[in-house]
Amino acid sequence: MSLSSRDQKNIWHPYTQMLDAKAPITIVRGEGACLFDEDGNKYIDAISSWWVNTHGHANAYIAEKVSEQIRILEHVIFAGFTHPKAIELAERLLQHLPENQSKIFYSDNGSTAVEVGVKMALQFWHNLGVKKTKIIAFNNAYHGDTFGAMSVSGRSVFTQMFDEYLFDVIFIDVPFENKMDQLNDAIKNDDVAAFIFEPLVQGASGMLMYPAEALEKMISFCMKNDIITIADEVMTGFYRTGKFFATDYIAEKPDIYCLSKGLTGGTMAMGVTTCTQKIFDAFLSSNKTKTFYHGHSYTANPIACTAALASLDLYEKSDCIANVERIIKNHQSFISSIKNHPFIKDIRQCGTIIAIELKTDSNTSYLNSIRDKIYDYFIQRKIIMRPLGNIFYVMPPYCITDEQLDEVYKAIRQFLDELE
């Protein structure tokens, strides 16, 4: 029995209608920007395997560091104990984060990083004895699939089965212009505790992009109105937008950061939530009920911390920044060459991310039927894409070569021409 058949017999895959799902492609190894299946076929990973892989698959440097660590300490409880890698990683991350960030809280993925951030913000006000329970979030937002993360995500096909169980959130539109009307109306309710957002790029909603100037204005507005701001940098962090963090494009800095995905370079799961000293201080009390009662079995796992430290080593090398700049430049040239194509409704770029929105008979939707056509077209050409309905995007590992990028661009051009 093939590996794929064994998978189908026993495994339930995410975001997949298993009734009519095609047999999954069995990947047996990776190298750089490519993945190889059990038959030896090579695929260009144009989406960094769900946006996590930044340095390339099976990165030798990260692998060596992880191999060393696993022989020293694989795990230790993180309540009442600590270890060198967790300490070093916190110190290193704070060097890259804004000066207002003071404390690092570890978890194990993007959704939990968001859960932690939302709970921090709500309990901050509770500990101060201030009744603030409402969260402001963007329409079409996606912050994860746990219940708190779903609650602050836009209501969509991802949440519709659970909408009645999610806590109430005030949703406003993304500010494509410097309009503050909706935010102003939302805070007329003095019960607003926090505002959570994906900075500059809304990922799962279709790589929707909005200007840094508008976000900065919103953060400043929240600061003046005593509202905690939470930046979900799970996808946008670690040079995806061209800077180390997307919020590096603005002067006003959020109170809380949520990190994951590229944190370990895609090597293994890890989440981080950071906060200001002011937020941390609100949890310091002889009253034990003001403790932050949140944790995970694998909090600050030493192997994951080691992978993150190795990933940081690579981010801090000049060739990483050079690769990011090279990808951005190549994207810009490619966009110029196809922007007037009659089947393109919109094409947009933010750093190493480009998104192409196709003209279709129906509105933009994750369930748009053209999604399968796009996916199948590129898989046949050994390029991994994961379209968001009628929107598909390129978000490659930074080690991708110019030749590999050209192969992706060529396939996109051919796809568009064949639509005609």
- Same-domain check for residues 201 and 91: yes
Asked if residue 64 belongs to a domain, the reply is no
Asked if residue 144 belongs to a domain, the reply is yes
- What confidence score (pLDDT) does residue 188 get? 79
- Same-domain check for residues 122 and 209: yes
pLDDT along the chain (420 residues), means of 10: 91 91 95 97 97 98 98 98 98 98 97 98 98 95 95 91 93 81 82 97 94 94 96 98 98 98 97 98 97 96 98 97 98 97 96 95 71 95 95 98 98 93
SS3 195: strand
Give me the active site residues, please.
15, 142, 232, 261
- What confidence score (pLDDT) does residue 25 get? 96
- Same-domain check for residues 216 and 80: yes
| CATH number of the domain enclosing 360 | 3.90.1150.10
- Same-domain check for residues 103 and 230: yes
Contact status, residue 108 vs residue 300, Cβ threshold 8 Å: no
- What confidence score (pLDDT) does residue 395 get? 98
Tokens of 223: 């600061």
Asked if residue 67 belongs to a domain, the reply is no
Task: Name the DSSP class of 261.
Answer: G
- The per-residue b/e assignment along 113-137, b for 16 or more CB within 10 angstroms, e otherwise, is bbbbbbebbbbbbbbeeeebebbbb
Residue 361's φ and ψ, nearest 5 degrees, are -70, -30
Which pTM value belongs to this model?
A: 0.96
- Same-domain check for residues 311 and 354: no
Alpha-carbon span 61 to 54, nearest angstrom: 13
Side-chain-facing half-sphere of 36: CA atoms under 13 Å:
10
Side-chain-facing half-sphere of 23: CA atoms under 13 Å:
12
Side-chain-facing half-sphere of 299: CA atoms under 13 Å:
17
| CATH number of the domain enclosing 229 | 3.40.640.10
Domain region containing 338? 3-58+318-419
Last residue of a domain, one of 269, 294, 315: 315
Closest among 138, 74, 101, 113 to 304, alpha carbons compared:
74
